[in-house]
């Protein structure tokens, strides 16, 4: 695998044209299967990115129990929130948090969230 950066567009089959980064997708799925907290900053989950939906579904099959799924996105239309909520199963929906702010404005709130503080304390 080359060390050149690659921009992967939100297309259905990322592995077909970007097979050189297949190991990255496998590791991402493995990390998702072990995740107890997922934080998403500024990713709108476009309808065209079906690959991410399958990666999430594949990756979240594991023993870890999701404690928090947090999305930071300032979208005023509510479409981003709806797309993420439709991605999640019932257990994850109960742990879903949306912060409707831009990245820089949301950092303090993300790190001061009670759900994340509890998780951090449990890990110590």
How confident is the model over 8-36, as pLDDT tens digits?
Answer: 666 666 655 556 777 888 888 899 999 88
Asked if the structure places residue 80 within a domain, the reply is: yes
Asked if the structure places residue 7 within a domain, the reply is: no
Number of domains in the chain: 1
Sign of torsion, CA 86 90 94 95? negative
Asked if the structure places residue 117 within a domain, the reply is: yes
Query: Is-contact 56 88, C-beta < 8 A?
Result: no
Question: Quick check: 1 pLDDT over 50?
Answer: no
Cα separation of 46 and 92, whole Å?
Answer: 20
Tokens encoding 14: 């990322």
Residues whose CB is less than 8 angstroms from the CB of residue 79 and which lie 6 or more positions away in sequence, other chains included = 44
In the chain the beta strands, taken as DSSP E runs, fall at 37-41, 68-72, 96-99
Asked if the structure places residue 6 within a domain, the reply is: no
For 106, the domain range is 14-123
pTM here?
A: 0.77
Model confidence at 96, in pLDDT bands (50, 70, 90)? very high
Asked if the structure places residue 105 within a domain, the reply is: yes
């Amino acid at each position: 695998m080359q060390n050149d950066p690659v921009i992967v567009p939100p297309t259905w089959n990322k592995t077909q044209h970007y097979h050189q980064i297949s190991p990255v997708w496998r590791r991402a799925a493995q990390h998702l299967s072990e995740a107890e907290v997922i934080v998403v900053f500024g990713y709108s989950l476009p309808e065209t990115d079906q690959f991410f939906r399958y990666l999430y579904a594949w990756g979240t099959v594991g023993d870890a129990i999701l404690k928090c799924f947090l999305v930071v996105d300032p979208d005023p239309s509510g479409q981003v929130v709806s797309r993420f909520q439709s991605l999640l199963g019932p257990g994850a929906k109960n742990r879903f948090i949306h912060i409707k702010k831009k990245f820089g404005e949301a950092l303090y709130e993300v790190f001061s969230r009670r759900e994340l503080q509890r998780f951090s304390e449990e890990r110590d």
